[in-house]
Structure 1
Amino acid sequence: MLSATDLVAGYRRGPDVLNGVSLTLEPGRVIGVQGPSGCGKSTLIRVLALLHRPRAGRLSLDGETVRHVRYAAPAEQRRRVGVLFQHPRAAADPRHTLGRIIAAHAPPDADADRLADLVGLTPDLLGRKPHEVSDGQLQRACLARTLGADPRYLLCDEMTAMLDASSAATLLQLIGTQVKENQRAALMVSHDPALLDAVCDETLQWDELSFAKH
């Protein structure tokens, strides 16, 4: 399980963005968190992804207390958590082809073609660069890159916000399949209740997190 207890987090000397947030992700389940823009959802994702150090509280990853973030955290811990961000173009190097993007976090012997096929990208797209594909295709490549590291936990930060309805539905279905077939856990944060209802086993309101028990 990926478990957060009484998390408090903020930036520099600013006020707390997270204030006593508790949440648990269990393999085989998709948990949704709904809240308005600016409420702190992205900060929660960053803390859970070991990208931002909380000011207080406890973060536990498969029974181990997380004591460090970013590259100070053990590589084995970092690999267990994968993130899909809202803006795929900001998350991908514009100089790289989709094939190179997909292979970025995978082991040297990983099959980029297999990962691309897993997310519905055809081989002819792998030689293209981000500006030559749609947002939906690029977000699929970002998902394939994330899956290449074989994470146990998938954290999705408004990942469909830049996509059309068809691309969003496809991506949600892919995440749901990965969770159910490979016993991963997923957290989806969004302001869109319909999107969360379509894929999540449970959806929490942002102001419930301090009191939620799982």
Structure 2
Amino acid sequence: MLELISVTAGYERANPVVRNAGLTIAPGEAVGLLGPSGCGKSTLARVAALLHRPDSGHVVIDGEPARGWRHRAPREQRTAFGVVFQQPRMSADPRLRLADLIAEPLRASGRAPAARVGELAATVGLGTDLLSRRPHEVSDGQLQRACLARALALRPRWLICDEMTAMLDASTTAALVGVVEAYREETGAGLLAVGHDRHLLERWCGRTVEWDTLGSAGGGG
């Protein structure tokens, strides 16, 4: 179970964008978090993935409280999450070839990336001819495929997709949602899908939570 309990978070302590928010996701469950742009959804998603320390409240991962944030989180908790952000060009190092981008978490964990990179590229529908290219040499959709492959590299137990398809066309959106769903079916991973497209979230997720039911404050993130 992934639990967010009474979370308050933001970037200015006097004006948090998330206030007293609670959310639970069971293993294998797909939960959509629906709300307008700028309401704080991304901040909550970053808290859930241990990328942003909340001002108060708790994150509990499989019954164990989070013991740190970002690089200070213990490896077994940090690698439990795979995250895909809205804007792939802001989450990808422009100097890296796509193969190296996908291999980042494998190298960081001391694992040999060679065979795994090709497997991940095939899983997300990324042609091997693209793996030697850098972000500026591929489309947004191709780069987001590489970012999803990177998120799956360590076989996470929890996926956080923060507006993953917002910049993509309908066919690429369907393809990437299909990859995520196949991974969930295979592994039993839980999913938090953040977005403002009600139709997409309700088709994708078994349960969709409205932002204004979380006890949260708008105005950022």
Query: What band does the TM-score fall into relative to the shorter chain?
Result: over 0.9
Instruction: Give the structure 1 partner of residue 192 of structure 2.
Output: 187
After superposition, the C-alpha distances for 1:149-200 in whole angstroms (9 at most, x for unaligned) are 2111000111111111111111111111111221101101111001102210
Instruction: Give the structure 1 partner of residue 112 of structure 2.
Output: 109
Instruction: Give the structure 2 partner of residue 20 of structure 1.
Output: 20
| Paired residues of 2:8 and 2:16 also in contact (CA < 8 A) | yes
| Paired residues of 2:4 and 2:57 also in contact (CA < 8 A) | yes
| Paired residues of 1:29 and 1:180 also in contact (CA < 8 A) | no
Give the match's secondary structure for 2:24: strand
Q: Give the TM-score of the pair, scaled to structure 2.
A: 0.92
Structure 1: 5+ residue runs without aligned partners? none
State the Cα distance separating 1:58 from its structure 2 match. 1.5
After superposition, the C-alpha distances for 1:111-140 in whole angstroms (9 at most, x for unaligned) are 210010111111111111111111111101
For 1:178 and 1:202, how far apart are their aligned partners in 2?
18
For 1:125 and 1:27, how far apart are their aligned partners in 2?
34
Instruction: Give the structure 2 partner of residue 90 of structure 1.
Output: 90
Q: Given residue 154 of structure 2, which amino acid in structure 1 is its aligned partner?
A: A
Matches within 5 A, 1:187-206: 187-206=192-211
Instruction: Give the structure 2 partner of residue 47 of structure 1.
Output: 47
Instruction: Give the structure 1 partner of residue 33 of structure 2.
Output: 33
| Paired residues of 1:83 and 1:146 also in contact (CA < 8 A) | yes
Instruction: Give the structure 2 partner of residue 165 of structure 1.
Output: 170
Structure 1: 4+ residue segments shifted above 6 A: none
- What is the CA RMSD across the aligned residues, in angstroms? 1.4
State the Cα distance separating 1:25 from its structure 2 match. 1.4
**What is the count of residue pairs matched by the alignment?**
211
Q: Give the TM-score of the pair, scaled to structure 1.
A: 0.94
For 1:208 and 1:14, how far apart are their aligned partners in 2?
22
